[in-house]
C-alpha cells in the first residue's frame, strides 16, 4: 500500500519525526478541518445550527460502532478513559469481600477507580509482570470465587505488551467474572470485534492511536449489562424524553446513552469522527500491518545503536509500542537529544518508548537510530 497520501494528512511531519502516539498524537488535517468547521458554524449561527450537530453525533456513533462491530445502543461518548473506567467501578453492585484483578503495570487510569472502591470492601489484586509479559496463568491464580471483574489494557502502556483478550475473556467466563478492557493503546491499530471477543466493558479516548483530540472518547457496554450497572453522572440527556425540559420524567434511556448526562463535546465529537472515518476508510488491518512493519524495522535496527528491545515481539504479543533499554545511557537525556534533532520519543519505566503510527516512515526510524548512536 502507498502510504504517501495518508501521510499527507499530517502537518506534524513538516517539523518532527513523531514517535509518541502512545502519549498524545498530532491531529490529522481532517480533524483540524472538523474543528474549524464547527467553530465557524457556531460563530455564525449559534443555536440555529444545533440540528446539524445533533445529527453529527449520530453519525459519529455509527463510526464508533463500526470500529468495534458494536450495536449503536451499546456506545456512549466519554471525556476520557478514566471516566469510562469510573462508570463501571462506581456503578457495579459490589459486595463486601469482592475483588478486582489487574496487572501491576496498568496505567493509573485503570487502577485508581478500582482502588477507590476499598471503602466499599472491594480488594484490588495486582498481578506482577514477568519481564515484559503478563502471564494468563498468573491472572488465573489471582482470581477466586469473589473475583467480580478483571480489568486489563489491550496494550500495556510502558512495555507495549498486547494482552490476549480472547483467552482472558474466556477465563473470565469460566470463573463467572466480568472483563473490562482499557483499549486506548490498541484501538485504531488493531481490529477489535466486541461481538466476537468475550469482553463486557471497554473504554478508550481518542487522543492516541485514534488520532483524535483530547477530551472525547468511547465507552462500550454489552447491552445485557446496561441494567446491571447503576448509572452515575446522570443529567438531562440521560432520560428517554430528554428534550422535554418542562417535564420531569425520570426514565433512563435503555441504552448506553444514559451515561451521556449533559451536553456533548460537539467540537471534539466532530473532530474524533473525522479521524475515525479516515482510519476506517484506510482499513484497520492495513494500519496494523504498516505499524508492525515499522516497529519490526525499528527493532531490527535498535542493536546498531546499542539499544536493547524490552518489549515482547512475539506475533500475538507485539504492538505499536516499543520499549527500549539504553545500557549505560540515561533515557531522559536521549529523549532530549532526539527532540533537539527534531525527533519526538518518550520514556516510561526507565526505558525509551517509541510508538510510530502508519504515516511514519523507515527513513524517520533511521534518523532516530543515527541520533542515538
Cα–Cα distance measured from residue 237 to residue 137, given in angstroms and rounded to the nearest whole number: 43
Cα–Cα distance measured from residue 162 to residue 319, given in angstroms and rounded to the nearest whole number: 6
So what's the pLDDT on residue 51? Answer: 84
So what's the pLDDT on residue 191? Answer: 98
* Sequence-separated contacts (24+) of 41-50 with Cβ below 8 Å: none
So what's the pLDDT on residue 92? Answer: 98
Question: Which sign, positive or negative, has the C-alpha torsion 111, 136, 356, 199?
Answer: negative
Q: For residue 252, what is the DSSP state?
A: B
Where along the chain do its domains lie? 4-19+284-372, 35-280
CB 233 within 8 A of CB 258: no
Sheet holding 75-78, edge to edge: 75-78, 217-221, 201-205, 178-182, 147-153, 99-103, 123-127
* Sequence-separated contacts (24+) of 134-143 with Cβ below 8 Å: 134/103, 134/105, 134/161, 134/163, 136/164, 136/167, 136/168, 136/171, 139/101, 139/103, 139/168, 139/171, 140/171, 140/175, 142/101, 143/101, 143/171, 143/175, 143/177
Cα–Cα distance measured from residue 7 to residue 28, given in angstroms and rounded to the nearest whole number: 9
Question: Which sign, positive or negative, has the C-alpha torsion 334, 337, 342, 346?
Answer: positive
Half-sphere exposure of 224 (CA within 13 A, CB side): 4
| Class at the top of the CATH hierarchy for domain 4-19+284-372 | alpha beta
So what's the pLDDT on residue 353? Answer: 98
What's the average pLDDT block by block, 10 residues per block, for the chain (373 residues)? 95 98 98 96 92 90 98 98 98 98 97 98 98 98 98 98 98 98 98 98 98 98 98 97 96 98 94 98 98 98 98 98 98 98 98 98 98 96
CB 321 within 8 A of CB 315: no
Residue 217 three-state SS: strand
- What is the CATH topology of the domain spanning 35-280? 3.40.640
So what's the pLDDT on residue 52? Answer: 85
Cα–Cα distance measured from residue 60 to residue 50, given in angstroms and rounded to the nearest whole number: 15
Sheet holding 346-348, edge to edge: 308-309, 322-325, 351-354, 346-348
Q: What is the pTM of this model?
A: 0.96
So what's the pLDDT on residue 1? Answer: 84
Residue 8 three-state SS: coil
Cα–Cα distance measured from residue 230 to residue 154, given in angstroms and rounded to the nearest whole number: 25
- Distances in Å between the Cα of 216 and the Cα atoms of 170, 184, 205 are 30, 12, 6
Amino acid at each position: 500500500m502507498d502510504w504517501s497520501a495518508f501521510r499527507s494528512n499530517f502537518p506534524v511531519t513538516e517539523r518532527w519525526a513523531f514517535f509518541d502516539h502512545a502519549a498524545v498524537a498530532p491531529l490529522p488535517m481532517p480533524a483540524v478541518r472538523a474543528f474549524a468547521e464547527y467553530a465557524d458554524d457556531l460563530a455564525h449561527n449559534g443555536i440555529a445550527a444545533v440540528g446539524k450537530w445533533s445529527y453529527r453525533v449520530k453519525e459519529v456513533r455509527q463510526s464508533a460502532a463500526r470500529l468495534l462491530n458494536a450495536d449503536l445502543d451499546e456506545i456512549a461518548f466519554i471525556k476520557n478513559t478514566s471516566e469510562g473506567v469510573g462508570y463501571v467501578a462506581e456503578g457495579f453492585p459490589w459486595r463486601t469481600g469482592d475483588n478486582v484483578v489487574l496487572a501491576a503495570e496498568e496505567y493509573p487510569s485503570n487502577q485508581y477507580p478500582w482502588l477507590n472502591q476499598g471503602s466499599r470492601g472491594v480488594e484490588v489484586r495486582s498481578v506482577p509482570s514477568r519481564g515484559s509479559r503478563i502471564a494468563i496463568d498468573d491472572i488465573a491464580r489471582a482470581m477466586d470465587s469473589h473475583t467480580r471483574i478483571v480489568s486489563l489494557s489491550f496494550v500495556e502502556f510502558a512495555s507495549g505488551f498486547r494482552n490476549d483478550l480472547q483467552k482472558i475473556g474466556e477465563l473470565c467466563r469460566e470463573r463467572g467474572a466480568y472483563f473490562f478492557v482499557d483499549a486506548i493503546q490498541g484501538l485504531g491499530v488493531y481490529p477489535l470485534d466486541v461481538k466476537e471477543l468475550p469482553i463486557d466493558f471497554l473504554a478508550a479516548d481518542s487522543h492516541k492511536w485514534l488520532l483524535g483530540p483530547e477530551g472525547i472518547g468511547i465507552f462500550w457496554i454489552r447491552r445485557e449489562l446496561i441494567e446491571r450497572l447503576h448509572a452515575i453522572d446522570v443529567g438531562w440527556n440521560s432520560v428517554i424524553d430528554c428534550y422535554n425540559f418542562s417535564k420531569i420524567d425520570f426514565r433512563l434511556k435503555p441504552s448506553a446513552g444514559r451515561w451521556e448526562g449533559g451536553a456533548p463535546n460537539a467540537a471534539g465529537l466532530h473532530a474524533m469522527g473525522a479521524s475515525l472515518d479516515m482510519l476506517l476508510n484506510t482499513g484497520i488491518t492495513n494500519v496494523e500491518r504498516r505499524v508492525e512493519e515499522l516497529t519490526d524495522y525499528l527493532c531490527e535496527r535498535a542493536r546498531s545503536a546499542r539499544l536493547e528491545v524490552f518489549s515482547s515481539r512475539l506475533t500475538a504479543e507485539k504492538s505499536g509500542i516499543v520499549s527500549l533499554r539504553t545500557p549505560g545511557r540515561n533515557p531522559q537525556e536521549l529523549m532530549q537529544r532526539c527532540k533537539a534533532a527534531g525527533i519526538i520519543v518518550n520514556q516510561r519505566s526507565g526505558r525509551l518508548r517509541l510508538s510510530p503510527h502508519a504515516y511514519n516512515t523507515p527513513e524517520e526510524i533511521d534518523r532516530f537510530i543515527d541520533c542515538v548512536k
